[in-house]
A and B are shown apart, each in its own frame.
Chain A
Amino acid sequence: GAVVSQHPSRVICKSGTSVKIECRSLDFQATTMFWYRQFPKQSLMLMATSNEGSKATYEQGVEKDKFLINHASLTLSTLTVTSAHPEDSSFYICSAYDTYTEAFFGQGTRLTVV
């Protein structure tokens, strides 16, 4: 089946620094990818829709200047958490779909800001 690869799987950074997370579709082209965030014991919350070649669409309450999304090619979307703070510590996960039948998820990135 289609594979979505996310990197890194785990990152620890200092408060105030920026972290970039990559999401790649390995065997299909994805014009649209989605970024989610999941806090412990909570649901995955959609943060933004990443569109290849255009600006991302952010969900209400998500700061677009803090969570920079770039979808420069049909196989790569990146999420950069800028000036990270401890409250940004979470599980970030991307998804993409290749057909109208199933969305595939990356392995997720566990971000810890210390």
Chain B
Amino acid sequence: RKEVEQDPGPFNVPEGATVAFNCTYSNSASQSFFWYRQDCRKEPKLLMSVYSSGNEDGRFTAQLNRASQYISLLIRDSKLSDSATYLCAVNGRGRTDSWGKFQFGAGTQVVVTP
């Protein structure tokens, strides 16, 4: 089983709609969680950190469910510019891993259509 798993999609979303997807992780000692956005052939860019209490940044909401070991990302009022691949990243700092040493999911592709 992979340490971090995501539904590859694609999620085809009409402009203005809401889309949500999850990322599961296997290491229960994982301490930090992030969502990154990656455009085709570009480097990943941090979208948001995921806190235990959940957090919201504009149209984006991230949640953490430690009991079920997954994080989620919800995008409201989708824009065409939201089309990208969304990578979840998990840092297993509790296992003496260095900060910044991430395990990434393979990414969920989101395609927002007019």
Q: Produce 1/0 per residue, A57-78, CB < 8 A to B.
A: 0000000000000000000000
| Contact A107/B42 with A41-B106, A43-B87, A44-B104 known, Cβ cut-off 8 Å | yes
In the complex, B98 has a CB within 8 A of chain A: yes
With A43-B4, A43-B87 as contacts: A106 and B101 at CB distance below 8 Å: no
Chain A residues lying within 8 Å of B8, measured Cβ to Cβ, are 41
Contact call B106/A43, Cβ cutoff below 8 A: yes
- Does B102 interact with chain A (Cβ within 8 Å)? yes
Stretch from B43-51, B52-60, B70-78 that touches the partner: B43-51
Q: Which chain B residues (63-114) contact chain A, with CB distance < 8 Å? A: 87, 98-107
Total A residues in contact with B, Cβ cutoff 8 Å: 25
State which residues 8-37 of A face B: CB under 8 Å.
Answer: 32, 34, 36
A93 pairs with B43, CB closer than 8 A: yes
User: What's the Cα separation between A88 and B98 when bound, in Å?
Assistant: 26
Chain B 2-15 near chain A by CB (<8 Å), digits 1 or 0: 00100010000000
A87 interface contact, C-beta 8 A: no
- B interface residues with partner A (beta carbon < 8 Å): 4, 8, 41-46, 49, 87, 98-107
A-B contact pairs, 5 of them (CB 8 A): A32-B98, A44-B87, A97-B100, A102-B46, A108-B43
The 9 closest A-B pairs by CB, nearest first: A43-B106, A97-B100, A103-B100, A105-B43, A44-B104, A43-B104, A108-B43, A107-B43, A105-B44
Q: Can you add 19 more A-B contacts, CB < 8 Å, to A45-B104, A105-B45, A106-B43? A: A32-B100, A34-B101, A43-B4, A43-B104, A43-B105, A44-B44, A46-B102, A46-B103, A49-B98, A95-B100, A95-B102, A96-B100, A97-B100, A102-B46, A102-B49, A105-B43, A107-B42, A107-B43, A108-B41
